[in-house]
Amino acid sequence: MHLLNRYKETITDGPGLRYSIYLAGCAHRCPGCHNTASWNPSAGVPLDEEVLSDLIEEINSNPLLDGITISGGDPFYNPDELATLLRRLKEATHLPILVYTGFTIEVLESVARYQQALAYIDFLIDGPFVYALRDPSLQFRGSSNQRLIDLGQRYHR
Ligand code: SF4
């Protein structure tokens, strides 16, 4: 798994003040994608133990953060490594986690290798970017097919 970028404080990737982690790799190839450089899974730097410790330290040193956002690319490009990353972030920070993905929740719930990561996600913004449905007035989303889903509420946890 490769880290493309990190934003220590942002208000554009979900509700409140968030720490955003951008992961490399995406196979959806949405026409009009805002970041085609993120499709390459080898872009950025390896997200190894040292980098992860650094991210966690930065997150835990900022008491103003409301949550963590994982974007890309599509974080579900590497579902097993994503589950491990989310578990480590959750255990170390106890902050709500929002994940962007080009898959719909229906697809993620129906494929076994995606389900493990869902257990650590509080909010999901799902679905591919659809150029014909693009709407700059939407909060946190690029096109109107994408949904902000409260997984805590969905799974009664
Ligand atoms: S899912 Fe996101 S990163 Fe991937 S092609 Fe679509 S818009 Fe681009």
| pLDDT tens figures, 70-125 | 999 999 999 999 999 999 999 999 999 999 999 999 999 999 999 999 999 999 99
pTM above 0.95, yes or no: yes
* pLDDT value for 74: 98
Residue whose Cα lies nearest atom 6 of ligand 1: it is 30
* pLDDT value for 157: 78
Question: From the CB of 129, is ligand 1 less than 6 Å away?
Answer: yes
CA of 30 to the centre of ligand 1 (A): 5
What percent of the chain stands above pLDDT 90? 97
Question: From the CB of 33, is ligand 1 less than 6 Å away?
Answer: yes
Q: What's the Rg (C-alpha) of the chain?
A: 15
Q: What confidence category does residue 25 fall into, taking pLDDT thresholds of 50, 70 and 90?
A: very high
Q: At residue 146, does pLDDT exceed 90? A: yes
CA of 50 to the centre of ligand 1 (A): 28
Question: From the CB of 102, is ligand 1 less than 6 Å away?
Answer: yes
Question: From the CB of 25, is ligand 1 less than 6 Å away?
Answer: no
Mean pLDDT in residue range 12-17 = 96
Other CB atoms within 10 A of residue 97 CB: 23
Residue whose Cα lies nearest atom 3 of ligand 1: it is 73
Q: At residue 31, does pLDDT exceed 90? A: yes
| pLDDT tens figures, 52-62 | 999 999 999 99
